[in-house]
A and B are shown apart, each in its own frame.
Chain A
Amino acid sequence: NAGVTQTPKFRVLKTGQSMTLLCAQDMNHEYMYWYRQDPGMGLRLIHYSVGEGTTAKGEVPDGYNVSRLKKQNFLLGLESAAPSQTSVYFCASSRDLNQPQHFGDGTRLSIL
């Protein structure tokens, strides 16, 4: 009964380094989302996908790239990490927009 699994849970990067955050869901959901949570800003949508092979920009896409090569996986990449990308990142998935989103446990990312 895994639901939505995010890896890693924590990571510290140096400015300029790259990394990929993985989100995996086992519920056969079409829709997947990447959000970031910052103090006082609530949840902000970075990128999303409405099905395998599709991606679209959200509210704050700059500095991030995503891929959805398999339906169950949604990858978030940082090509050249910046301190402004220090945040907690949440992945979510849902069957449809009139169905609840299921969230992963989050990835805490610090960029020095």
Chain B
Amino acid sequence: ILNVEQSPQSLHVQEGDSTNFTCSFPSSNFYALHWYRWETAKSPEALFVMTLNGDEKKKGRISATLNTKEGYSYLYIKGSQPEDSATYLCAYNSGGSNYKLTFGKGTLLTVNP
């Protein structure tokens, strides 16, 4: 069983605050780590896919880092805006004969104006 844990489960921040969430995954085998943004009543949209230890990716005010040796990834949002309110999912693949992504349950972010 491949466990992907995300923390916190939910958080509320004020507009303009910067915030970050954590995704933990097994460090024994690694192929890829995905981050998705999922707005209510919509479908998940990909933010980043990272494959190398030490990878850092950035898209606008959102960035992510990856540590495959210790099995975690951080997602950072700088200067949160109300439109950032969504559930942020991470998903892990261990490679080899595993052709699936294992998703965490997500972090629900609410940004108050």
Q: Which A residues contact B (CB, under 8 angstroms)?
A: 31, 33, 40-43, 45, 48, 50, 56, 58, 90, 92, 97-106
Contact = CB atoms under 8 A, between A and B. Distances in A.
B99 A48 contact: yes
B49 A42 contact: no
> Interface residues of B: mostly helix, strand, loop or mixed?
loop
Contact of B46 (A43, A90, A97, A101): A101
Q: Which of B32, B45, B101 has the most CB of A within 10 A?
A: B101
Nearest to A40: B105
B75 to A, nearest CB: 15
Given A42-B89, A42-B106, A43-B89, A97 B101 contact: yes
A111 B48 CA distance: 35
A103 B45 contact: yes
A102 B46 contact: yes
A97 B105 contact: no
Contacts of B51: 98
A39 to B, nearest CB: 11
A51 B38 CA distance: 27
A97 B31 contact: yes
- Please tell me the size bucket of the interface on B: 20 to 34
Contacts, number: 53
B101 to A, nearest CB: 7
B32 A97 contact: yes
A90 B43 contact: yes
23 contacts: A31-B99, A33-B100, A40-B105, A41-B105, A42-B106, A43-B103, A45-B100, A45-B101, A48-B100, A90-B44, A97-B31, A97-B93, A97-B95, A97-B101, A98-B31, A100-B36, A101-B34, A101-B36, A101-B101, A103-B44, A103-B45, A105-B43, A106-B43
A36 to B, nearest CB: 12
Nearest to B48: A100
A103 B61 CA distance: 23
Interface string B23-50: 0000000011010100000111110010
A31 B64 CA distance: 25
